[in-house]
Amino acid sequence: MFPPRPRVPEGDAAIRATDNDAALARLSAVRRGYLTDPFITPLVPRAHLEPSRPPLINIGTYVRSEALDELVNGWLALSAQEGAKCQIVSMGAGSDTRFWRIATGPSRDNLARYIEIDFPEITTKKAMAIRKSKDLSAVLGKPEDVSLANGGTALHSPVYHLLAADLRLPPAESLAPLLTTGPEPLLSPSLPTLLLFECVLVYMSPAASGSLLQWFTDYFSSQSSSPTSSPSVLGCIVYEMFALGDQFGKVMVNNLKARNVSLPGAEPYPTFESLPNRFLKHGWEVAKALTLKDIRREYISQAELERISQLEMLDEIEELELVLAHYAITWGVKLPSNADGLKAQWREWSIKRKATS
């Protein structure tokens, strides 16, 4: 009589399934004209069969993507100003296309390494999609310089590296062997480095994400660097939900619970004011946050707001703002102790407020 209900994934499979949601939201925002991204289609299986997402999701995806792009591009520009190439480590990267967008854009020569980490099931799928797509693989370099590793769960190329790990495990066991050990570690402590956590820490316990951040903080401290090179500046951007204790937050939590996804990482962040603690508690010098609601209102230019308002009808601005008020971008900087002359520019790394007339 009734069709069988689709099986809801459980445990880690439910967490991994969130990658599909993020990729479909991006695909939808690109198709509707909010964003430009020629690299998302080859990463979504049977992309042509996927329906568009509602306007509210498209707008949220647009605001998040524009703001994150501005911060990442700002970081690349600051590194270039210092005459250094930078490293980016994207954790829980899923089907993200950021590497391809940077590597085909004006900052491509400022990138020393771009490392993506996710569960092996996700990295295997991504590595296969990259190998299958000429558009994706051509950006990695000559075919002879690109190789699969670890049974197809990893992929290496001159700049881009895709690695499999469970980020909840102690970093000394999971990340250190991949990133920082051996005669030529993949991650150098002496280059400006940006960590990206786009909607991933929220699925982990606060203890696990705290150890992760502390491990990177320690690696970029003076003790870890060789006597001939000093540690460089470390930045981090976290995008995720917060303030889940209010009425609307509880609805979000329950909706995700129905899909077997829980959000333990949001517990220490019940308010906007609590967000910078994520970095301050590790002794970082800079920690700032903005909600997507504020970014849409105060940081996206009027011309862009007008352009996207023509793309689709959206009646419920109040509902949009309620949703966007529960998502935030938090970013921080840990400065090396010997960087006196350089501190000001890194402290000002931010999203630009739009000009008011």
Ligand X SMILES: C[S@@+](CC[C@H](N)C(=O)[O-])C[C@H]1O[C@@H](n2cnc3c(N)ncnc32)[C@H](O)[C@@H]1O
Residue span binding ligand X (CB under 6 A) among the ranges 52-60, 87-95, 270-278, 284-292: 87-95
Determine, following the binding rule CB under 6 A, whether residue 93 of this chain makes contact with ligand X: yes
C-alpha distance across the termini of the chain, in Å: 61
Determine, following the binding rule CB under 6 A, whether residue 22 of this chain makes contact with ligand X: yes
Residue span binding ligand X (CB under 6 A) among the ranges 47-55, 89-97, 128-136, 148-156: 89-97
Determine, following the binding rule CB under 6 A, whether residue 69 of this chain makes contact with ligand X: no
Q: Tell whether residue 74 is among the known ligand binding residues.
A: no
Query: To the nearest whole angstrom, how small is the minimum distance from the Cβ of residue 124 to ligand X?
Result: 12
Cα gap 312→295, rounded to integer Å:
20
DSSP E strands in 51-152: the ranges are 86-91, 111-118, 147-149
Cα gap 74→306, rounded to integer Å:
25
Residue span binding ligand X (CB under 6 A) among the ranges 88-96, 221-229, 245-253, 341-349: 88-96
Q: Which is nearer to ligand X, 17 or 84 (CB)?
A: 17
User: Total residues at the site for ligand X (CB under 6 A)?
Assistant: 20
155: tokens are 């992929």
Query: To the nearest whole angstrom, how small is the minimum distance from the Cβ of residue 318 to ligand X?
Result: 26
204: tokens are 């982990």
Sheet holding 111-118, edge to edge: 147-149, 154-156, 160-164, 111-118, 86-91, 193-198, 234-241, 327-334, 286-291
Q: Binding string, 295-334, against ligand X, x = CB under 6 A?
A: ----------------------------------------
Residue span binding ligand X (CB under 6 A) among the ranges 18-26, 104-112, 213-221, 280-288: 18-26
Determine, following the binding rule CB under 6 A, whether residue 118 of this chain makes contact with ligand X: yes
Instruction: Tell me how crowded residue 30 is: count the other CB atoms within 10 A of its CB.
Output: 22
Select the residue interacting with ligand X from 70, 166, 246, 312 (CB under 6 A): 166
Q: Tell whether residue 167 is among the known ligand binding residues.
A: yes
Residue span binding ligand X (CB under 6 A) among the ranges 41-49, 194-202, 258-266, 303-311: 194-202
For the packed helices 302-309 and 55-81, what is the interaxial angle rounded to 10 degrees?
150
Query: To the nearest whole angstrom, how small is the minimum distance from the Cβ of residue 20 to ligand X?
Result: 8
Residue span binding ligand X (CB under 6 A) among the ranges 135-143, 164-172, 223-231, 297-305: 164-172
- CB-count exposure of residue 89 (10 Å: 0-12, 13-18, 19+): buried
206: tokens are 């606060």
Q: Which is nearer to ligand X, 234 or 329 (CB)?
A: 329
- Which is it for strands 286-291 and 327-334: parallel, antiparallel or unpaired? antiparallel
| Residues between 197 and 216 that touch ligand X (CB under 6 A) | 198-200, 203-204
For 9, the 3-state DSSP assignment is coil
Q: Which residue is nearest to ligand X (CB)?
A: 92
Q: Tell whether residue 166 is among the known ligand binding residues.
A: yes
Query: To the nearest whole angstrom, how small is the minimum distance from the Cβ of residue 19 to ligand X?
Result: 3
- Which is it for strands 111-118 and 86-91: parallel, antiparallel or unpaired? parallel
Query: To the nearest whole angstrom, how small is the minimum distance from the Cβ of residue 203 to ligand X?
Result: 5
Select the residue interacting with ligand X from 119, 216, 327, 346 (CB under 6 A): 119
Nearest to 308 by CA among 28, 24, 62: 62
Which element (helix H / strand E) includes 214?
A: helix 206-219
The residues facing 237 across adjacent strands are 196, 331
CA atoms within 13 A on the CB side of 199: 21
Cα gap 152→136, rounded to integer Å:
17
Task: State the binding site.
Answer: 64, 92, 166-167, 198
For ligand X, the binding residues (CB under 6 A) are: 15-16, 18-19, 22, 92-94, 96, 118-119, 122, 166-168, 198-200, 203-204
Task: State the binding site for S-adenosyl-L-methionine.
Answer: 64, 92, 166-167, 198
